[in-house]
Amino acid sequence: MITLTSDFGSPYPAAMKGVILGRSDAQLVDIAHDLPRQDVRAAAFWLRETLPYFPPATHLVVVDPGVGTDRNAIVVRAGEHTLVGPDNGVLRPAARRLAGDAPIETYVIDEQRLDPVEPATEAIDDGESAPTVPGGGQGPASNTFHGRDVFAPAAATVHETPIEELAGLTVLRAAEHEVDLELPTATVEGERARGEVLVVDDFGNVITNVPGSYLADRETIVANGERVPVGETFATVPIGDRVATVGSHGYVELDVNQGRGDDAFGLMAGDSVVLEPAESGDS
């Protein structure tokens, strides 16, 4: 199984799938291709919260603002899973979750040793004069579409290799250094939690990094100065009302029942969030 995650929109992911399916019989599963453009942190969050629900698989990830620079392309083994993507930290939070107590192994992809991606022959006399070699003949891989030309073939190779034998692949070499990324954590001092918005989801739910346990035994909190009822579900408040709840990732979310929390609270990813207890008895 190979999962695919990118910020490519449409139809670029299809070319990656074609390359993979020409080299592998892997089952393909899309995680998302509409992640916020070139937002490594948002992608790292969604991967960390989604991939642990999968059985062992190869996870292809291309959220890659540094495409074409000298950043490495890497393969990460995390427990029984492997991740393939750019060395910009996007894979790390998910890798830690997937590895558990097992060590994380990181390899650099030697792009020159990958079997080059070669699309079907092009007719000679059709007046359509695009160069046969992607990237305008400047090299074996396009400078702008490593998803198709580097990561997809690498993912297929990794998928076809028993996970214990990754280190023996000639297209991989041990990484000496890699970019780390840690998603920010909240601090709880006394009854006050200081954190930030990790992401806003498609529903407009504001997902903070404050652990859901902060809401235990509270009926009302004050979020950035505004009183908000605490509910176990959206439906504990009337439609259109605000509610603080423990979201499906285990964090405090600031939501609106059947509405958009980001609009109601005026919050977006990266914004600071301070949660405080409400005065008792006036909730």
**Binders in 232-251 for a second copy, by CB under 8 A:** 232-236, 245-251
Among 19, 74, 108, 171, contact with a second copy (rule: CB under 8 A): 19
Within 10 angstroms of residue 119's Cβ, the number of other Cβ atoms is 13
DSSP codes of every residue in 34-67: -SPTT-HHHHHHHHHHHGGGSPS-EEEEE--TTT
The residue range among 28-36, 82-90, 108-116, 168-176 that interacts with a second copy, by the rule CB under 8 A, is 28-36
14 binds a second copy (CB under 8 A): yes
114 binds a second copy (CB under 8 A): no
274 binds a second copy (CB under 8 A): no
What is the C-alpha separation between 67 and 111, in angstroms, rounded? 13
Contact between 230 and 243 under an 8 Å Cβ cutoff? The reply is: yes
Please tell me the count of residues contacting a second copy according to CB under 8 A: 101
The residue range among 115-123, 159-167, 264-272, 273-281 that interacts with a second copy, by the rule CB under 8 A, is 115-123
What is the C-alpha separation between 248 and 237, in angstroms, rounded? 18
* Measured distance between the N- and C-terminal CA atoms of the chain, rounded to whole angstroms: 50
Within 10 angstroms of residue 271's Cβ, the number of other Cβ atoms is 15
Among 2, 40, 41, 51, contact with a second copy (rule: CB under 8 A): 51
Residue 224 C-beta: closest distance to a second copy, Å: 21
Structure tokens at 170: 């000639």
271 binds a second copy (CB under 8 A): no
Among 82, 142, 157, 208, contact with a second copy (rule: CB under 8 A): 142
- CA-nearest of 238, 255, 243 to 201 is 255
101 binds a second copy (CB under 8 A): yes
The residue range among 65-73, 106-114, 160-168, 221-229 that interacts with a second copy, by the rule CB under 8 A, is 65-73
Residues 175-194 that bind a second copy (CB under 8 A): 182-183, 185-186
The residue range among 112-120, 159-167, 168-176, 267-275 that interacts with a second copy, by the rule CB under 8 A, is 112-120
Contact between 106 and 178 under an 8 Å Cβ cutoff? The reply is: yes
Structure tokens at 259: 């509405």
Share in percent of the chain as helix, strand, coil (round to 5): 25, 30, 50
